[in-house]
Amino acid sequence: MNWVAPGRDGAALAERSFQSAYARLLTSTRFRKAVFSRHGSNVDGFDAQVIERLRAMDWDRTSFYAELLVGNRIASISEAFPTTAFLLGSHLTRLARDFGDESGSTDHRKYPEACAIAAYLMHSLETQRIGPPFAIDVLTYELAKLRLRYEYRLPLWAQGVCHSASKFDVAMRAQHPVYVHRHPYQAILSLACDIEKVCADVAAARMPRKGMVQSTMLLLHVDDQGVLHQEGVNAVTAAFLLLADGQTTFDSMLDALATLFAQGGFERGAQLREGALQLCGRLLERGVVGLTFDVRPRPASAQVRAP
């Protein structure tokens, strides 16, 4: 952040220190209790003068205001991560308070603060036994959706990336190297719960069953109007998309898929090729992948001879 300091005389420095302590007083329950408990003249490194100024404030109203801020934070969490907030239940208020006791956020704007809170909630879910076991997956899912909605930019695709199934067909027949690019604003999530069922239960204000375990792979992507699309995908499609980095040729992707799924009976042959061609065609239609082609004349040795 780019700050300008107009002056740094003693009074201004003292006021800066006061404002830091003041901000903590309003956002950290632990610090507020330490200040108003009146034990000791220094609290958390702030000098006695600063602490005395804080202690001169109206305790009731300051605390009331601080609780309003916690309420605002809970509202922010509920807006950004509604299903997670529901699953956290009574833990939510404590976590919203603890967030202030720990680092808090440095940017109160909706998206930056949501990301900071999500990081804190994720850490809490990983280290504390709170909420159902699938709460981490739900937060991962809700954060991914939020990120895609806020972070997508236009143009979605780099210049020259094509979405024509017929051009794909022509290039494949001509044996030109084809590079598959996955959508730049997409997320592939591997979740251990039936996320759609969980969200539906929560939308109906029902707590989902704790034992709801189901391996789910989800593809999320955003279109150029900012509309988020979501669909279940299988492991092969997910692998195909992960391999579609725009640098690997379609043929090399087939090799990698054959290796990845060798145990599943995949063989590098016509059947895999045909299946991958159809998959790529479907993904092209849905705008999930794009293509670039290398149409330079191939060296004579690489030309395929007519039978």
Partner 1 sequence: MNSYADALTLGADLCSPLDDIPFLGVGLGFREALKSATLEHLDRIDFLELMTEHYIEMPPHKTRELELLAAEIPLVMHGVELSIGTVDWLDVEYLEKMQRVAELAHPRWISDHLCMTRVPERAIGNLTPVPLSLLNCSNIAHNARRAGGFFDCPFLLENISYYFQPPPIEMTEEAFVTRVLEGADCHMLLDLTNLCNNAINMGYNAYRYLDGIPLDRVVQIHLAGGYYHGSLLLDTHSHRVPDPVLDLLKHVLPRLPNLRGVLIERDQNFPPFSELLDELDGVRELVRQHWTVRPAVRRLKTPQWLS
CA dihedral 155, 160, 166, 167 (to 10 degrees): -170
Residue of the chain from 37, 38, 49, 108 that contacts partner 1 (CB under 8 A)? 108
Residue of the chain from 153, 173, 296, 305 that contacts partner 1 (CB under 8 A)? 153
Q: Rule CB under 8 A: is residue 304 a binding residue for partner 1?
A: no
Smaller CB distance to partner 1: residue 71 or 269? 71
Q: How far apart are CA 95 and CA 106, in angstroms?
A: 17
- Is residue 92 classed as helix, strand or coil in its secondary structure? helix
How far is CA 238 from each of CA 158, 234, 270, 292, rounded to the nearest angstrom? 22, 6, 21, 20
Residue of the chain from 89, 160, 226, 269 that contacts partner 1 (CB under 8 A)? 226
Q: Rule CB under 8 A: is residue 261 a binding residue for partner 1?
A: no
Q: Rule CB under 8 A: is residue 302 a binding residue for partner 1?
A: no
Q: Are 248 and 175 in contact (CB under 8 A)?
A: no
Q: Total residues at the site for partner 1 (CB under 8 A)?
A: 51
Using the structure block, give the residue that is written with the tokens 């001169």.
Answer: 56
Which residues, numbered 279-298, are part of the site for partner 1 (CB under 8 A)? none
Q: Rule CB under 8 A: is residue 255 a binding residue for partner 1?
A: no
Q: Rule CB under 8 A: is residue 205 a binding residue for partner 1?
A: no
Q: Rule CB under 8 A: is residue 151 a binding residue for partner 1?
A: yes
Residue type at 81 in one-letter notation: F
Angle between helices 48-55 and 29-36 (to 10 degrees): 90
Residue of the chain from 41, 72, 128, 175 that contacts partner 1 (CB under 8 A)? 72
Q: Rule CB under 8 A: is residue 49 a binding residue for partner 1?
A: no
Smaller CB distance to partner 1: residue 63 or 249? 63
Q: Rule CB under 8 A: is residue 53 a binding residue for partner 1?
A: yes
Element (H, E) at 292: strand 289-293
Q: Rule CB under 8 A: is residue 24 a binding residue for partner 1?
A: yes
Residue of 219, 227, 276 whose CA lies nearest to 250: 276
DSSP bridge pairs for 186 = 221
Residue type at 283 in one-letter notation: L
Contacts from 115-122 at CB under 8 Å and sequence distance 24+?
A: 115/143, 115/146, 115/147, 117/73, 117/76, 117/77, 117/80, 117/81, 118/80, 118/81, 118/143, 118/146, 120/95, 121/77, 121/81, 121/84, 121/88, 121/95
Q: Rule CB under 8 A: is residue 106 a binding residue for partner 1?
A: yes
Site stretch for partner 1 (CB under 8 A), options 11-19, 160-168, 173-181, 237-245: 11-19
Q: Cβ 185 to partner 1, closest distance in Å?
A: 9
Q: Cβ 246 to partner 1, closest distance in Å?
A: 22
Judged by the rule CB under 8 A, the positions of this chain that interact with partner 1 are: 1-8, 11-13, 15-16, 18-20, 22-24, 26-27, 53, 56-58, 61-62, 64-65, 68-69, 72-73, 104-111, 113, 149-154, 224-226
